Amino acid sequence: MPLRSILRFPDPRLSLPAAAVETFGAELAVLAADLLDTMRAAPGIGITAPHIGVAQRLTVIGIDATTAPKIYVNPRIVAASSETSSHAEGSVSMPGVTEDVVRPSTVRVVYRTITGDRAEEDADGLLAVCLQHEIDQLDGIFWLQRLSRLKRDRAVKRYAKLNRGI
């Protein structure tokens, strides 16, 4: 599958909510495969259709080489723990910059599979972090918005410094 171009911060399309997927079929499967290839090449462990300029609620997460990547269509969080944890996060749209983000430790997500079947999943650890991060992106919430103003400003300055002369 072809690699897709990834939108780079501060592209305004990264702040727009994505539309629900309504049609399941070959076109969606191709988009998911392109997302997977693009994510691996980035490299990253999660990517959404909005990262490549497609405003649809589709995300692919591949945490490690030992676990098959998962495709989530129209995912949404229906429950989250009151217990929180902090984890370093970044974005394929802002490579080279990470900051610790505090999020609920566990979540329950409902979604559709690539064929349109309803599914539900409980997640903890890195998968919970990734699901929350990517669902935020689908909602038009770029990960920087989860940081304090000081951390956000510092991250933006680091990214600008990394990209001077490009």
**Encoded amino acid at 50, one letter:** P
Q: Alpha-carbon distance 97 to 101, whole Å?
A: 13
Single out the residue of 75, 73, 101, 98 nearest to residue 86, CA to CA. 101
- Catalytic, 120? Answer no
Instruction: Yes or no: say if 5 and 41 are a contact pair by the CB < 8 Å rule.
Output: no
93 burial type by CB count under 10 A (0-12 exposed, 13-18 middle, 19+ buried) = buried
Please name which of 135, 12, 77, 1 lies closest in space to residue 143, comparing C-alpha atoms.
Answer: 135
Candidates 22, 120, 121, 134; catalytic one: 134
User: Alpha-carbon distance 78 to 75, whole Å?
Assistant: 9
Catalytic residues: 134
